[in-house]
Structure 1
Amino acid sequence: MITVYQNGELHFQNKIYKCAIGRNGIKKNKIEGDGCTPAGKYSLGPLYYRSDRIKKLKTYFNTISIEKNMFWSDDPQSEHYNKLIRFKDSSYENLFKINHTYDIIIVIKYNTDPIIKGKGSAIFIHLAKKNLFSYFWLYCIKKKNVFLKY
């Protein structure tokens, strides 16, 4: 389980990490596109990673290599909403990015079981840019703080 606080602290396994939260803060009743990080405690996994960029990865998460045809549906009207897809849906998040922010993605199990359309999608922990700028609804952490070794 992870806990994230408004001040940008992420608590995981008795350690504290600096992170970015949604541009509009943390919210109990998150909805798609509101720019908020969902409030609550959530389980993590699986971990997606760019095996073309990261050769050795040691983690207890189930790992999945990110391929060019991997996307995450963020269209509440789609039957594939908040799921990994291998085709471009009407609205989606591309997991195979040119920049390094998605070299490692850990899924935060928010709105995953069951999936409620419109409650938020693609809630990930992923790498941040140098200044931890808040990326919409996603959690971001610096590469040196990521809780795995590679």
Structure 2
Amino acid sequence: MKARCDSLFNKSIIRQKRRKGTCTSRKAAQTSILAVRPHPRNRTRGLLSIDAFVFPCALGRSGISVFKREGDGATPGFVMHPLGIYFRRDRRRGGIGPARLPVLSIRSDLGWCDAPGDANYNRPVRLPFPKSHERMEREDALYDICVVLDWNIKSRQRGAGSAIFLHIAHPEMKPTEGCIAIAPQTMRRILPRLSRKTRIRVLS
């Protein structure tokens, strides 16, 4: 039995195929660089700048690290690229609006493997799944819109970190487990400007 969720895996972020109808915005300008800087007085908070705008964001509970490891709670201090978008169609019946990235809805059987010793490490998997994993269909709103970043995906290293996303922040901007989290209104502003050419530069 194949554990990996191939129906989502192949169509979304790894093969990086453009799905018909996902690139619907021609008016929104493409953004080439998105910079994330740590807050000077709080390492779990950051400032996300895009074009001439600056927005608050939440970072990992351990701040930013250039030595990212699985479970350390740190946001990778590197340059990453967005690969695709998952969203909760059951909560967003109207969709997410214009997007230049591949878009897929989160199903109830979608998980993400975070077991370094498993062949599916840092890959989407179909639930139930026997090894350690994260359920993408959360009770809270954090993954209502979830942009998958390319950290440790194209050339995976065991234990180098998994499930690094740009997602919706907790209302109180609580720290993440290593992701970058932004307010829903910020997500609406920047989502149409993201493409595979966008560089998300996390500065330590």
Category of TM-score, reference length = shorter chain:
over 0.9
- 2:146 equivalent to 1:114: no
**Could you tell me which residue of structure 1 aligns to residue 59 of structure 2?**
21
Counterparts of 2:53 and 2:103 in 1: how far apart (Å)? 22
- 2:76 equivalent to 1:76: no
Among 42, 58, 61, the alignment partner of 2:101 is 61
TM-score (norm 1): 0.92
- Evaluate the alpha carbon distance shift between residue 14 and residue 117 of structure 1 in structure 2; reply closer, same or farther with a 3 A threshold: farther
**Unpaired segments of 5 or more residues in structure 2?**
1-32, 40-45, 193-204
TM-score (norm 2): 0.69
- Evaluate the alpha carbon distance shift between residue 69 and residue 60 of structure 1 in structure 2; reply closer, same or farther with a 3 A threshold: same
Q: Show CA shifts across 1:87-143 (max 9, x none).
A: 224111110111111101001111111011100000011111111111221211110
Q: What's the Cα RMSD here?
A: 1.5
Structure showing the higher helix proportion among its residues: 2
Pick 1 or 2: higher relative contact order, CA cutoff 8 A, min separation 6: 2
Superposed, which structure 2 residues align to 1:110-149 within 5 Å? 110-146=151-187, 147-148=190-191
**Unpaired segments of 5 or more residues in structure 1?**
none
- Matched residues, number: 149
Identical positions, percent: 30
Q: Look at both structures and tell me which one has the larger radius of gyration over its CA atoms.
A: 2
Counterparts of 2:81 and 2:109 in 1: how far apart (Å)? 26
Q: Is the contact between residue 3 and residue 42 of structure 1 (CA under 8 Å) also seen in structure 2?
A: no
